[in-house]
Each structure stands twice: as structure tokens, then as C-alpha cells.
């Protein structure tokens, strides 16, 4: 007979007065009391069953109190813009209410020695503490009933109070019992500097650096199990008494705050929903299911966030079966490289590169199967029709979005919101800024205006534009103005226009026919083809530019599809940035192609399109190539479908394209070193397997004596290694401590690599006019020019030995790794 399970609920519990909008002009606003804390947890956890389907014995809190029920806050709701049948929080007024400890009505029998008991306790609400009598009552209960697990929903002040000290200082016999659940807002309120929703990488970095930055929070950093919630979008699970890495559980489609913005806004009880969903899963599946339980808790939050408030008498029905995994499937997990972060590793590391590794392989899948194929696998950001996957772009665009949202939500700010836009020529900067605005304003009217300083000859042109901006403001329309060729503004001929714009940006007014007129809220985007990166805006040789940029609110950089010159290291993410753009262009180009359509693209062609370092005019060149190509959904896309070389060369370096068609390009010194080792291994294998008579006939030569044609053949073999590795779910990359390198292949991998290598060798020899016959290199004749199935076994073994040696041919700075996917950890 299995041990009985008990779930004890206790802690603070208060009420919220909810005021709903009038149903019609003659009716009164509706009001209703909703519970918080322990009372809400009890409602949510009603009717739970254990892992064998038996009812879990839930010990509810006593809700009777000698005083009147404590009113925590008054909340006013309004009809949601997204759903006329739903309401969203308009404002909340917090009341100065003292917390009240609610003990459980009953506790597990003391004679059940084998029973498992989980306590779920709601801390006193923010900024308050239980009085001494209630604290002593809580401590006595915990002393009499030692919990197996203690789920503690913690509020500010952090790391204080008798309950926290009991578990954090090891006074409880089960020192690993406490699981602290804290909202990130509480950490920020206590002084931890954690940015809001820029990227999950930034969140991880700041969490690692900040957690130990405040001395009196040492017990927080050493808490046995700490779960920090980042809204409905993710959580970090930190084990303070183990050497294990923290684990980020997150929704790759968004970041902190995105979910509530997409739905009904902040909904009361979200954190309690997490605690209930987490505790329910933990009770059902045990402590080994910690990460899965976190996902279930986040899923419970989302169910409440999607549906909003209903009658909490059926609260458990609102959340549904708390342990179901519908919403929890939206989350994946990632082991945070805390050691690297603590040592001050590159601040541009990415979850994508750590977890997936071979970005070029993922890029190929994206083009063939669509952007939705990777939506649940990598962190990315979506701004209307603009999809971004590079951490640098994501942080830049989210920072811009947050700034514009705050600006538009503050009508008292009447000066324009100025933005300097950086990016390569043809990267699609105007399109990107439009998508950002669409993603922010959603249902509000917006009007886009355009101004090219190359067309400006006097101030009349600018005054007409500003009058249009002012008209938009008067009509309640958001004006977004794109200024092109901004560098021309600093020519002496446009000095007056520069003065007008500087005054407008600083004061929000311009002079029209002698009258000073306000322009109203508007957004100005300034861009120039010379501004590829932020460093181009700080050129001291350009008079006035630095001062002008300093007068703007912010800047944003669109990296685009070209490989950028990154001084911190190679730009390894450009193939995926390009793949997302290429897929979108194909969907717009090919009739009948949708976001879920699969397209057949030749491997070599796709490698060339994704890996060639630069297109002359970035996205514009990519689109031009597709316009000139013969591509359709049924036939696919083959090298023969490309335009002639003379046209193709207008948009890329054709030699680079041909070289990239072979797959990822290794640095020259790596290529040469590996080719020499490969040739040495070939000589060793031939000498080992050949008879003395055969050795004399072979006339084997060392590398320094080898004919250049055969050296080039060895280099071509090395060039093919990255593409062959993909076939066995591996990839070649610079060595890193965050991954375990492959030391040897499996027999099945060796066989597959050998077959592919022999086919490649056959193709190479045939293209160079070799024929089959007795071995005679002088007349380009070889007996090995046969299919793998017809090759003698001893010569097959030579190919097997060569491919098996790939890991040893590489210099110490490179290694072979297994291709990973996020969530596999």
C-alpha cells in the first residue's frame, strides 16, 4: 500500500473588491469580492488527485477570523479592446491592510509515519509582516508537522521573517525542503537591477551577476530551490546549495511581459495560479519533476491570463486540470552557462548558439520548411511581419519598442520621438521601422510620411511636411516620418533645415508663417546608407552629426542578411538572419506558397545563398535574384534556375558564391593543416594495407613533394567535411567548454560518411576527366572509379579510416559536436 499524501495550505489571505463596467447606460457598475493568497490557492487546488489517481488529502486554511475580512485592494476593470466579452484591469488602489495568518483547518495525523506532506504557504503581502503571535503560531505548526516539501510564495521584504530563517538557515530537519517562489518584481523592488524583457540572454546574465550583489540576500542565493517568475513568459530555477547550473524555462516566442500584453493585461491571481499549478504537478509526479512542474505552473498562469476573471467558486474549473500540458508545451528549457557569465564571457553569447550549435543547418531547415518550423525551437522576436532571431537585433528592437510604447502612453510628452536607424544598404530599414510601429499601435490609426534630404532645396519642403505631421496629431493619428539621406542635412545648403529640426526635436514646435506651432506626438526615423553601425554615428570628423544624434531619443540597428564585421568575433548568425528573409521572399514570390509549405531547394544552391558573405544591396539584391530565377513550388529551386552569371555577379561575388556552395568555409590555415593531416593518414593507411610489391608500385609521396592537383584534392576533401557531418547530425565549430566534443563516430556514422566521401571523390575525378583502369596518375587513370557497392572491402576500409579520423585531423581550437536542439538538455 502506498504512503498517503497530504497538501497543507496556509498563510496570508485577503480580498479584492472588483468593480466591473456598466452593462448599459442605465445600470450600475457590478461589484464582486475575489480572494487572494491562501484562499485562492485552496480554491485552485480543490479536487486534486495523486499520481495513482487517488484523492490527495488537501488541508485547507481556516478562513474564519475574529476581525472583518481584510480588503487588500480595489480594482476597476474596463471592457477589453481585444475581446468585447472580456474585461481588463484599468486601475488598482492598494489599501493599507495588515496581513493575517490563516492556519490549516487540519493537519496530517502524527501517526502516519510514511506519509508525504507538502506545505504551500502564502507569505504576508508585499511590504508587510505577520505579527509576533501569528508568527509563533506558524512556527509551532511547522515544528509539529515537518513538511517533506515546503512551497513558499515569498513577498517583500525578502530574506526576512521567522519562516524564511527556519528553512534558509537549516533549522528544519529537512534542509532541502524549501522551494521559494518569487516574482521578479519583488527582486527589483529590493534593489536588484534586472532589465525588463530585452532578451532571455540578458535576463540570465543580469540574474547571475545581481543575485549575489546584495550582501543581505545571501540566503536567497543559497536557497535550496529558488524559482523566479518573469511574468507568464518564463522562470529561472536556481539551486543554491548545488553546483548545478541554473535552468531557464521560457517561451521562445516572447519575453517578460509579452503574454499579458497580447491578451487581457495584468490579471489578479496570476502568481497564485503558478504556485497552484506547480504544486499540483509536484504532488502528482514528485520532486524529480521540478522542471516539468515549473512548466505546468506557467501553463496555469496562462490559462488564467487568457480567460480573465470568472466566478472563483469554480476556480479549479477555470484553471482546468492543473497538471495538463496544453500550455506547458509552449515552454522549453536551457541550462544557463553561469560559469562563463560569472567569468565575464562575451556579452553577445546567445542561447541559440549554445543550444543548437550548427546555425547553418537550422538556416537550411528554415528556408525549406518555413519560419514557423523554428518558432518553438529558438528565441526570437516578432514585430508584425518582421521576425528577428539575432540577440543583438532583438535587444535593440525591443528597447526601441519599449521606449515608443512609453512615449505614446504619456500624452504630456509633446516633442517628437527621434530615432537614428543603422543598417547596411538595402537591409530593409524602412520596412523594419514600419513593422515596429504596426506592432505597437495595433488598432490605432498611423500615417507614414517620407522625406529625402536629397530632394530638399529649401525650408518650404520641410515646413509642408511638418504641417502634415501636425494635421495627423490634431486628428488623433500617429505620424511616423522616415528621413532618408540624413548625412546631407549637415551640408551648408541645408543649415536652416537642420536648425528647424533641432528645435523641433528639443521643443516640439516649428514656425509656420510667423506663428509658433506645436507638432504634437510623432515618431521621426533618421537613416542614411553610411550608417551601418552605431560607431558610424560617432565619427568625430563629421561636424554636427554627433550633436544631432545626441538630441534623439534612441538608436536602433538592423543587422540584415549580410555578414557583418564583428570585432568581438565571427558573425555566425548571419545565415539564419538571411534564411528568415529568404523564406519570406520566397513566400511572396511563388504563387500558392504559404508559411507552412515545404519547398525543395538544391543543397548546394541553398548553401551558396545562405553562406555567401555579402549581397551587394542586401535584401534588395536577394529579391532581384529571385525575380530573375525560374522557381516554383512544384519544381523547387535548382542551380539551373538561377540567372546568367553576368546578372548574378551584379548582386554578389560569383566566386564566393561557388565556393560557398560546397558548404561552410573553413579558415585557410585550418583547411591547410587538416589537408596535410588527411594526406598523412592516407599514406599511413595505404602503407599498412599494401604488400611490399604494391608499395613499390604506388610511389607514395609526402605532402611537400605532392603535385598541386593532389594537394587541392585533399583540400577539397577537407572542404566537404562540414556538409558531410550534417548528414550524421554533427557539426564543426570552434572549441567551447559549453559542449562535449565528439572523440569518435559510431560505426553507422563511419559507414555513412565513407559512402558519401567515396561518391564525392568519384565526382571530383570524373570532373577532372579521370577514367577507370590500372592505376596511373600520369594518364589520369584509377581502378577506384566505381560505385561504393563495387569497391573492394580493403579499399572501403581506407575511406572508413579517413572519415573516422576527422576528429583527430582538426587543430586544438576546433572540434566536432552533435547537433542539439533547445529543450534537449
Please compute the mean of the pLDDT values over residues 159-181 and round it to a whole number: 80
Q: What is the pLDDT of residues 556-601, one digit of tens each?
A: 999 999 998 876 677 889 999 999 999 999 999 999 999 889 999 9
821 vs 522: which has the higher pLDDT: 522
pLDDT of residue 109: 80
Q: Check residue 540 and give its pLDDT.
A: 62
**What confidence tens digit (pLDDT) does each residue in 683-711 have?**
999 888 877 767 766 778 899 999 999 99
pLDDT at 410 over 60: yes
What is the mean predicted confidence (pLDDT) over 414-437?
95
Residue 115 CB neighbour total at 10 angstroms? 15
Bridge partners (DSSP) listed for residue 526? 420, 483
Q: pLDDT tens digits for 208-234? A: 998 877 777 888 888 999 999 999 999
pLDDT of 823 above 80: no
pLDDT value for 35? 87
* pLDDT, the chain, mean: 87
Extract the runs of DSSP E, i.e. beta strands, from 641-772.
730-734, 771-772
Ranges 224-228, 315-319, 444-448: which has the least confidence: 315-319
519-525: average pLDDT = 95
Tell me the per-residue pLDDT of 600-656, one tens digit each, with 9 for 90 and over: 999 999 999 999 999 999 999 999 999 999 998 888 999 999 999 999 999 999 999
pLDDT at residue 640, rounded to an integer: 93
pLDDT band of 437, cuts 50, 70, 90: very high
Contact 235, 247 (CB under 8 A): no
What is the Cα–Cα distance from 657 to 79, expressed in whole angstroms? 56
Region 294-318: what's the mean pLDDT? 75
- Is residue 665 over pLDDT 80? no
In the predicted structure, residue 313 carries a pLDDT above the cut 50: no
Residue 300's CB is within 10 A of a number of other CB atoms, namely 32
Residue 241, pLDDT > 50, answer yes
What is residue 127's predicted lDDT score, i.e. its pLDDT?
Answer: 80
DSSP class of residue 637 equals B
- Considering only 98-112, 149-163, 376-390, 783-797, which range has the smallest mean pLDDT? 98-112
- Which strands make up the sheet holding 15-20, listed edge to edge? 30-35, 15-20, 71-79, 87-94
Grade residue 464 by pLDDT with cuts at 50, 70 and 90.
very high
Cβ proximity of 798 and 757 under 8 Å: no
- Provide the β-strand partners of residue 423: 558
What percent of the chain lies above the pLDDT cut of 70?
Answer: 91
> Which tops the pLDDT comparison, 417 or 140?
417
Confidence of residue 112 (pLDDT cuts 50, 70, 90): low
| pLDDT of 354 higher than 60 | yes
- Give the model's confidence band at 717: pLDDT under 50 very low, under 70 low, under 90 confident, else very high: very high
Give 473's contacts (C-beta < 8 A, 6+ positions apart). 479, 518, 519, 520, 521, 522
In which order are the strands placed within the sheet that holds 522-527?
446-452, 478-484, 522-527, 417-423, 554-558
Question: Average pLDDT of 84-110?
Answer: 85
Q: Please state, in angstroms and rounded to a whole number, the distance separating the CA atoms of residues 184 and 194.
A: 8
- 1 pLDDT higher than 50: no
Separation of alpha carbons 682 and 688, rounded Å: 10
Helices 793-804 and 668-689 sit at what angle, rounded to 10 degrees?
A: 150
In angstroms, the CA 55 to CA 51 distance is 9
d(CA 735, CA 812): 8
Is residue 312 pLDDT above 60, yes or no?
no
53 vs 38: which has the higher pLDDT: 38
Angstrom distance (rounded) from CA 143 to CA 436: 56
CB-CB contact of 590 with 631 (8 Å)? yes
The number of residues making up the chain comes to 825
Mean pLDDT of 533-553: 82
Q: Are 186 and 158 in contact (CB under 8 A)?
A: yes
User: SS3 for 787?
Assistant: coil
Q: Could you tell me if 97 and 48 are in contact, meaning their C-beta atoms sit under 8 angstroms apart?
A: no
Query: CA-to-CA distance for 409 and 406, rounded, in angstroms?
Result: 5
What was the pLDDT predicted at 186?
A: 93
- Low-confidence winner among 113-127, 188-202, 358-372 (lowest mean pLDDT): 113-127
What is the pLDDT, as a whole number, of residue 813? Answer: 85
Strands 247-250 and 332-335: antiparallel
- At 173 the pLDDT is 60
Long-range contacts from 628-632, C-beta under 8 angstroms, 24+ separation: 631/586, 631/589, 631/590, 632/590, 632/591
Helix, strand or coil, per DSSP, at residue 453: helix
Closest residue by Cα to residue 189 from 163, 157, 233: 157
- Predicted confidence at residue 824, as pLDDT, reads 47
Bridging pattern class, strands 57-59 and 5-12? parallel
Least confident stretch, 13-17, 166-170, 414-418: 166-170
Q: How far apart are CA 422 and CA 538, in angstroms?
A: 12
pLDDT of 334 strictly over 90: yes
Gap between the Cα atoms of 520 and 52, Å rounded: 64
Report CA 662 to chain centroid distance, whole Å.
Answer: 30
Contact 202, 234 (CB under 8 A): no
How confident is the model at residue 412, as a pLDDT?
92
Average pLDDT of the segment spanning 513-526: 93
Amino acid at each position: 500500500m502506498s504512503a498517503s499524501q497530504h497538501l497543507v495550505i496556509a498563510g496570508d489571505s485577503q480580498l479584492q473588491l472588483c468593480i466591473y463596467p456598466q452593462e448599459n447606460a442605465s445600470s450600475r457598475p457590478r461589484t464582486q469580492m475575489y480572494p487572494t493568497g491562501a484562499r485562492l490557492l485552496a480554491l485552485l487546488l480543490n479536487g486534486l488527485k495523486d499520481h495513482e489517481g487517488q484523492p490527495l488529502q488537501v488541508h485547507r486554511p481556516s478562513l474564519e477570523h475574529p476581525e472583518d475580512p481584510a480588503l487588500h485592494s480595489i480594482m476597476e476593470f474596463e471592457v477589453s479592446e481585444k475581446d468585447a466579452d472580456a474585461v481588463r484591469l484599468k486601475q488598482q488602489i492598494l489599501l493599507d491592510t495588515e496581513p493575517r495568518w490563516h492556519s490549516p483547518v487540519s493537519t496530517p495525523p502524527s501517526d502516519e509515519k510514511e506519509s508525504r506532506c507538502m506545505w504551500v504557504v502564502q507569505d504576508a503581502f508585499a511590504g508587510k509582516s505577520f505579527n509576533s503571535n501569528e508568527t509563533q503560531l506558524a512556527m509551532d505548526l511547522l515544528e509539529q508537522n515537518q513538511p517533506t516539501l515546503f512551497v513558499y510564495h515569498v513577498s517583500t521584504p525578502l530574506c526576512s521573517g521567522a519562516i524564511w530563517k527556519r528553512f534558509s538557515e537549516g533549522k528544519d530537519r529537512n534542509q532541502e525542503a524549501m522551494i521559494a517562489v518569487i516574482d521578479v518584481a519583488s527582486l527589483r523592488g529590493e534593489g536588484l537591477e534586472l532589465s525588463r524583457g530585452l532578451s532571455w540572454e540578458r535576463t540570465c546574465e543580469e540574474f547571475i551577476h545581481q543575485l549575489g550583489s546584495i550582501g543581505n540576500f545571501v540566503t536567497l542565493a543559497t536557497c535550496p530551490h529558488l524559482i523566479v517568475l518573469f511574468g507568464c513568459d518564463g522562470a529561472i530555477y536556481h539551486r543554491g546549495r548545488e553546483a548545478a547550473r541554473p535552468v531557464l524555462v521560457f517561451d521562445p516566442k516572447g519575453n517578460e511581459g509579452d503574454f499579458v500584453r497580447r491578451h487581457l493585461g495584468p490579471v489578479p491571481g496570476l502568481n497564485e495560479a503558478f504556485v497552484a499549478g506547480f504544486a499540483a504537478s509536484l504532488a502528482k509526479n514528485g520532486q524529480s519533476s521540478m522542471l516539468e512542474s515549473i512548466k505546468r505552473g506557467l501553463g496555469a498562469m496562462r490559462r488564467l491570463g487568457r480567460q480573465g476573471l470568472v466566478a472563483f467558486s469554480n476556480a479549479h474549473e477555470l484553471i482546468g486540470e492543473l497538471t495538463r500540458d496544453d500550455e506547458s508545451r509552449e515552454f522549453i528549457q536551457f541550462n544557463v552557462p553561469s560559469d562563463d557569465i560569472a567569468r565575464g564571457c562575451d556579452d553577445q553569447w546567445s542561447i541559440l548558439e549554445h543550444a543548437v550549435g550548427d546555425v547553418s543547418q537550422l538556416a537550411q531547415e528554415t528556408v525549406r520548411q518555413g519560419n514557423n518550423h523554428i518558432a518553438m525551437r529558438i528565441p526570437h522576436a516578432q514585430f508584425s511581419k518582421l521576425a528577428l532571431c539575432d540577440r543583438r537585433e532583438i535587444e535593440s528592437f525591443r528597447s526601441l519598442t519599449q521606449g515608443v510604447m512609453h512615449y505614446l502612453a504619456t500624452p504630456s510628452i509633446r516633442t517628437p520621438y527621434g530615432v537614428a536607424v543603422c543598417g547596411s544598404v538595402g537591409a530593409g530599414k524602412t520596412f523594419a521601422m514600419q513593422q515596429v510601429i504596426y506592432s505597437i499601435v495595433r488598432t490605432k490609426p498611423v500615417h507614414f510620411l517620407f522625406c529625402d534630404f536629397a530632394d530638399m532645396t529649401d525650408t518650404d519642403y520641410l515646413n509642408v511636411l511638418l504641417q502634415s505631421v501636425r494635421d495627423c496629431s490634431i486628428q488623433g493619428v500617429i505620424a511616423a516620418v522616415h528621413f532618408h539621406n540624413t548625412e546631407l542635412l549637415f551640408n551648408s545648403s541645408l543649415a536652416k533645415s537642420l536648425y528647424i529640426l533641432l528645435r523641433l526635436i528639443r521643443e516640439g514646435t516649428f514656425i509656420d508663417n510667423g506663428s509658433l506651432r506645436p507638432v504634437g506626438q510623432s515618431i521621426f526615423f533618421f537613416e542614411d546608407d553610411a550608417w551601418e553601425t552605431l560607431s558610424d554615428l560617432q565619427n568625430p570628423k563629421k561636424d554636427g552629426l554627433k550633436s544631432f544624434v545626441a538630441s534623439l531619443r534612441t538608436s536602433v540597428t538592423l543587422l540584415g542578411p549580410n555578414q557583418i564585421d564583428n570585432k568581438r568575433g565571427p558573425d555566425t548568425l548571419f545565415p539564419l538572419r538571411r534564411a528568415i528573409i529568404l523564406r519570406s521572399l520566397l513566400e511572396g514570390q511563388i504563387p500558392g506558397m504559404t508559411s507552412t509549405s515545404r519547398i525543395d531547394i538544391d543543397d548546394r544552391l541553398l548553401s551558396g545563398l545562405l553562406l555567401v558573405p555579402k549581397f551587394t544591396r542586401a535584401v534588395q539584391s536577394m529579391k532581384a535574384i529571385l525575380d530573375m530565377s525560374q522557381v516554383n513550388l512544384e519544381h523547387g529551386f535548382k542551380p539551373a534556375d538561377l540567372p546568367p552569371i553576368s546578372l548574378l555577379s551584379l548582386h554578389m561575388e560569383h566566386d564566393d558564391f561557388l565556393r560557398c556552395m560546397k558548404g561552410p568555409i573553413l579558415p585557410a590555415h585550418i583547411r591547410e593543416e587538416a589537408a596535410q593531416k588527411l594526406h598523412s593518414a592516407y599514406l599511413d593507411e595505404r602503407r599498412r594495407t599494401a604488400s611490399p610489391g604494391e608499395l613499390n608500385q604506388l610511389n607514395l609521396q609526402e605532402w611537400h613533394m605532392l603535385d598541386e592537383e593532389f594537394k587541392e584534392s585533399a583540400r577539397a576533401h577537407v572542404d566537404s567535411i562540414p556538409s558531410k557531418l550534417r548528414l550524421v547530425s554533427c557539426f564543426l565549430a570552434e572549441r567551447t567548454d559549453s559542449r562535449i566534443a565528439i572523440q569518435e563516430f559510431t560505426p553507422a556514422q563511419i559507414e555513412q560518411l565513407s559512402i558519401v566521401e567515396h561518391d564525392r571523390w568519384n565526382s571530383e575525378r570524373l570532373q577532372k576527366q579521370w577514367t577507370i583502369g590500372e592505376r596511373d596518375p600520369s594518364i589520369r587513370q584509377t581502378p577506384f572509379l566505381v560505385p561504393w557497392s563495387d569497391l573492394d572491402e580493403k579499399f572501403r576500409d581506407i575511406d572508413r579510416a579517413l572519415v573516422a579520423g576527422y576528429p583527430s585531423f582538426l587543430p586544438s581550437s576546433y572540434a566536432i559536436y552533435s547537433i542539439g536542439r533547445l529543450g534537449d538538455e
